[in-house]
């Protein structure tokens, strides 16, 4: 900085100096310990207060004026230089306002503490140790705690790993990342085979250890890169963001780095290290034996690092992606500034307040503010909803209380600044705006009570064929021949398979011979009784034996019945389908030669040209359903196409699964009451059978999706009120 000396001090000492005019009055002196760094080429600068650790971003005008607070320039000189630099007039009031602003921020030295010394002989004494800044108010959604000061450790470590900031290392690492991405793309199905065990206790423990280690290295990468480019890092600690535990490394000193590219590298370092860890784990996973311990550990690490990369580079979360965007746009406090601008727009739109001040980044700030606010609101809403469902289902009203308390603490913070007193000012002085609100609310209420709206009930569905036949073996036999296979269309009565009982023909022939022998025996007995005509009746009875004749006849009847049974078995050997349709059993021809017991399933035939959708509807919505109502369904296989159906019939009973039972208390009475409450509170549904009207080849049995049943039109307000009441427990609105 060029020092301008005041030559008025060379005047003779014999003449007493006149009091300086206001324009020649010297300006206050800025603190010599302030760290000032230029930012960009337009005259902006960043100031760090070493006493509090706070950072300030000054525009070109403020930076120029702060540089003139050196104790050597007076007001007139400063105004003249300002006008020469910016071609603008600087009034005394504007200059006084800047001085007061600098004093309020602690930029100025205390005059009483400055010794009376010539300007050129001033000696800067060693700075006192920095005083810790006052702890700011922290939100429950973003709470952090400092753990230790890593600056000395980073200073020692940084010289030993400087190769990681060289161009060859970056090129090689980028090539490795690209190769790892190709490996994951080619081996995606194999990676998915590990997913069934993802919720096991061992996997969760390993994932937690990997997360802690990866997060520590991630934050160290930020700090070491900041140290490499000349910054200081004095804070590493624990962060609780949306109640998700994290670590953080405070690299705010990166704002003192003049080059924007280097500031962005400081922010990028953590995510880049995650990518390197992910790359190394991908190569280790691919090279090791599948499902071995090293292979499994590599899969856990690559999964954890992959999820971290996805969240870290999301600019709507206050993580690396957000700070990268802030550095790239060179807009500090991007989130707060964007939220403030959106709130100003809403105050202007809703209450008639002042519009936001002009800003060259105004449109960008508004768009980012809306996106980040909606994302945060969605995240918070899902968290509160999930907590309410989980805790409420298990503990009832007592379990909902923590979620409600958390909502009361966090939800108002999302709307802070939306009014800022403008709503009260509107009521007090903006009569036209109040009248517009009254008219709008009245029109909305009238619309809710008058305008009809389609009432709907929806639920998940599964497609089933309207006609379905299971062909089972009518007897214990072998499959001799299969005449159809999976996907073949067969007509009603068509032969699907032939069964075989190996000894059945011989048993039928044997039974025929036995019948002939028994009939011959009967004839012999009858002829013998007629040849003995000269004896008396009593003697004939004793000789022929009516009992023997009757026994022989009974034997003939038994043998005939057995023969008919064997012939019926022979008639059952051809297996025919009773309905037309398509064979859906896979690999049916491979069952040739298989042994089937009586009743075993051979194959299934379905008529897929006519489909039914079985829709599970919540029991609270069943009262509005009736056969014949139109239905709109969307299958997951065709999400952009709507299929039409109609309600065919409604199941006469509900179906539902009970909640998992709680731990036994040992008290039979309490356990019985808990079981009763579990039965009463279990979610139940009713199956509604809907016949698809425009069946398509794209729809197949077993497919799932979501269906909406159109229950008729009612006023929108009644539908909304009915929906809200049905969300409450019955005992609260009955």
Please report whether residue 457 resides in a domain.
no
Asked if residue 494 and residue 634 are part of one domain, the reply reads no
DSSP 581: E
Which of 303, 330, 357 is the endpoint of a domain? 330
Rounded CA-CA distance 83/105 in Å is 25
Helical (H) or strand (E) element with 711: strand 704-715
- In the chain, how many domains are there? 5
- Secondary structure of the chain: what % helix, strand, coil (to 5)? 50, 20, 30
Task: Tell me if 643 sits within 8 A of 699, measured CB to CB.
Answer: yes
What torsion do the CA atoms of 687, 465, 701, 618 make, to the nearest 10 degrees?
-10
Residue that the structure tokens 């020649």 belong to: 24
Could you tell me the residue range of the domain that residue 416 belongs to? 331-422
DSSP 682: S
Q: Cα–Cα–Cα angle for 295, 298, 299, nearest 5°?
A: 90
DSSP alpha helix (H) spans, 288-333? 293-312, 320-329
Task: Tell me if 670 sits within 8 A of 585, measured CB to CB.
Answer: no
Q: What is the CATH number of the domain that holds 109?
A: 3.90.930.60
pLDDT at res. 242: 55
Asked if residue 536 and residue 481 are part of one domain, the reply reads yes
Asked if residue 68 and residue 103 are part of one domain, the reply reads yes
Encoded tokens for 435: 């009248």
pLDDT at res. 141: 57
Encoded tokens for 571: 């008639």
Task: Tell me if 194 sits within 8 A of 292, measured CB to CB.
Answer: no
Where the chain has pLDDT below 70, the residues are 1-25, 40, 110-143, 241-245, 393, 396-397, 528-545, 656-683, 695, 727-734
Rounded CA-CA distance 659/683 in Å is 8
CA contacts within 13 A on the Cβ side of 106: 14
| CA nearest neighbour of 57 among 41, 65, 40, 45 | 45
pLDDT at res. 110: 64
Asked if residue 504 and residue 575 are part of one domain, the reply reads yes
Q: How far is CA 405 from the centre of its chain?
A: 24
Please report whether residue 162 resides in a domain.
yes
Helical (H) or strand (E) element with 687: strand 684-692
Please report whether residue 448 resides in a domain.
no
| CA nearest neighbour of 591 among 486, 689, 679 | 486
Neighbours of 215 (CB within 10 A): 20
Please report whether residue 135 resides in a domain.
no
Neighbours of 164 (CB within 10 A): 16
Q: Read out DSSP for 110-128? A: PGGGS----GGG--PPPPP
Please report whether residue 442 resides in a domain.
no
Asked if residue 148 and residue 68 are part of one domain, the reply reads no
Asked if residue 353 and residue 291 are part of one domain, the reply reads no
Helical (H) or strand (E) element with 596: strand 595-596
Q: What is the CATH number of the domain that holds 723?
A: 2.40.30.170
Asked if residue 616 and residue 717 are part of one domain, the reply reads yes
Q: How far is CA 12 from the centre of its chain?
A: 81
Long-range contacts of 36-42 (CB under 8 A, 24+ apart): 36/66, 36/67, 37/255, 37/256, 37/257, 37/258, 38/63, 38/258, 39/255, 39/258, 39/330, 40/258, 40/260, 40/330
DSSP 139: B
Please report whether residue 2 resides in a domain.
no
Encoded tokens for 644: 């039409």
Which of 596, 617, 635 is the endpoint of a domain? 596
Asked if residue 564 and residue 499 are part of one domain, the reply reads yes
Rounded CA-CA distance 48/60 in Å is 17
Crossing angle, helix 60-67 and helix 92-104, to 10 degrees?
A: 80
What torsion do the CA atoms of 171, 172, 177, 183 make, to the nearest 10 degrees?
130
Asked if residue 703 and residue 650 are part of one domain, the reply reads yes
Rounded CA-CA distance 570/505 in Å is 8
Please report whether residue 274 resides in a domain.
yes
Task: Tell me if 159 sits within 8 A of 82, measured CB to CB.
Answer: no
Asked if residue 384 and residue 237 are part of one domain, the reply reads no
Q: 442-463: b or e for each residue (b if 16 or more CB lie within 10 Å)?
A: eeeeeebeeeeeebbbbbebeb
Q: Read out DSSP for 234-291? A: --EEEEEETTEEEEEE--GGGGG-S-HHHHHHHHHHHHHHHHHHHHHHHHHHHHSPTT
Asked if residue 256 and residue 308 are part of one domain, the reply reads yes
pLDDT at res. 1: 33
Please report whether residue 601 resides in a domain.
no
Encoded tokens for 11: 């005047």
Q: Which class for 646: exposed (0-12), middle (13-18), buried (19 or more C-beta within 10 A)?
A: middle
Rounded CA-CA distance 313/335 in Å is 15
What torsion do the CA atoms of 326, 328, 329, 332 make, to the nearest 10 degrees?
30
pLDDT at res. 531: 55
pTM above 0.75, yes or no: no
Rounded CA-CA distance 644/497 in Å is 37
Asked if residue 486 and residue 573 are part of one domain, the reply reads yes
Rounded CA-CA distance 282/50 in Å is 44
Which of 330, 351, 367 is the endpoint of a domain? 330
């Amino acid at each position: 900085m060029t020092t301008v000396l005041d030559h008025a001090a060379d005047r003779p000492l014999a003449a007493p100096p006149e009091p300086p005019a206001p324009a020649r009055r010297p300006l206050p002196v800025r603190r010599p310990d302030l760290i000032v760094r230029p930012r960009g080429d337009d005259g902006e600068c960043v100031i760090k207060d070493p006493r509090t650790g706070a950072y300030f971003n000054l525009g070109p005008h403020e930076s120029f004026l702060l540089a003139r607070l050196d104790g050597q320039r007076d007001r007139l000189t400063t105004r003249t230089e300002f006008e020469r630099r910016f071609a603008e007039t600087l009034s005394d009031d504007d200059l006084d306002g800047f001085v007061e602003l600098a004093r309020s921020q602690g930029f100025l030295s205390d005059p009483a503490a400055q010794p009376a010394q010539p300007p050129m002989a001033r000696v800067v004494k060693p700075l006192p140790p920095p005083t810790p800044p006052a702890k700011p108010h922290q939100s429950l959604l973003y709470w952090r705690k400092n753990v230790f000061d890593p600056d000395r450790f980073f200073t020692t470590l940084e010289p030993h790993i400087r190769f990681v900031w060289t161009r060859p290392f970056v090129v090689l690492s980028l090539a490795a990342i690209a190769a790892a991405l190709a490996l994951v793309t080619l081996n995606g199905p194999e990676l998915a085979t590990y997913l069934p065990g993802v919720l096991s206790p061992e996997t969760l423990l390993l994932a937690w250890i990997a997360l802690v280690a990866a997060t520590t290295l991630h934050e160290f990468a930020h700090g070491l890169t900041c140290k490499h480019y000349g910054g200081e890092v004095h804070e590493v600690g624990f962060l609780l963001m949306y109640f998700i535990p994290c670590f953080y490394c405070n690299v705010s000193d990166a704002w003192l780095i003049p080059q924007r590219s280097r500031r962005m590298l400081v922010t990028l370092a953590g995510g880049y290290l995650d990518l390197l860890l992910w790359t190394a784990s991908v190569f280790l996973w691919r090279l090791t034996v599948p499902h071995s311990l090293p292979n499994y550990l590599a899969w856990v690490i690559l999964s954890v690092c992959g999820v971290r990369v996805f969240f870290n580079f999301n600019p709507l979360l206050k993580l690396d992606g957000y700070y990268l965007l802030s550095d790239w746009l060179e807009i500090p406090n991007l989130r707060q500034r964007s939220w403030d601008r959106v709130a100003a727009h809403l105050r202007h739109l809703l209450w008639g307040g002042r519009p936001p001040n002009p800003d060259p980044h105004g449109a960008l700030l508004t768009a980012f503010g809306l996106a980040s606010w909606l994302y945060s609101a969605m995240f918070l809403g899902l968290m509160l909803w999930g907590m309410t469902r989980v805790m409420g289902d298990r503990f009832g009203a007592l379990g909902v209380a923590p979620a409600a308390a958390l909502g009361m603490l966090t939800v108002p913070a999302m709307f802070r600044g939306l009014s800022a007193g403008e709503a009260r000012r509107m009521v007090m002085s903006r009569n036209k705006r109040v009248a517009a609100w009254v008219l709008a609310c009245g029109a909305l209420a009238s619309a809710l009570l008058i305008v009809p709206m389609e009432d709907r009930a929806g639920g998940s569905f599964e497609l089933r064929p309207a006609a379905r036949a299971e062909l089972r073996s009518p007897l214990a036999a072998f499959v001799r021949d299969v005449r159809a296979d999976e996907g073949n269309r067969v007509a009603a009565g068509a032969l699907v398979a032939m069964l075989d009982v190996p000894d059945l023909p011989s048993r039928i022939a044997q039974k025929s011979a036995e019948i002939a022998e028994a009939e011959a025996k009967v004839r012999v007995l009858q002829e013998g009784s007629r040849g003995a005509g000269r004896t008396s009746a009593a003697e004939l009875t004793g000789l022929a034996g009516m009992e023997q004749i009757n026994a022989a006849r009974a034997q003939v009847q038994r043998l005939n019945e057995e023969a008919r049974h064997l012939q019926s078995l022979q008639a059952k050997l051809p297996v025919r389908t009773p309905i037309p349709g398509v064979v859906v059993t896979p690999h049916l021809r491979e069952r040739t030669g298989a042994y089937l017991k009586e009743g075993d399933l051979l194959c299934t035939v379905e008529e897929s040209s006519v489909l039914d959708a079985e829709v599970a509807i919540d029991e609270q919505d069943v009262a509005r359903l009736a056969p014949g109502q139109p239905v709109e369904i969307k299958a997951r296989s065709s999400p952009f196409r709507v299929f039409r159906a109609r309600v065919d019939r409604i199941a006469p009973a509900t179906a539902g699964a009970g909640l998992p039972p709680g731990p036994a208390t040992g008290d039979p009475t309490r356990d019985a009451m808990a079981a009763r409450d579990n039965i009463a509170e279990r979610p139940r549904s009713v199956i509604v059978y809907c016949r698809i009207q425009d069946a398509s080849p794209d729809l197949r049995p077993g497919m799932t999706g979501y269906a909406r049943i159109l229950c008729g039109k009612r006023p929108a307000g009644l539908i909304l009120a009915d929906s809200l009441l049905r969300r409450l427990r019955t005992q609260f609105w009955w």
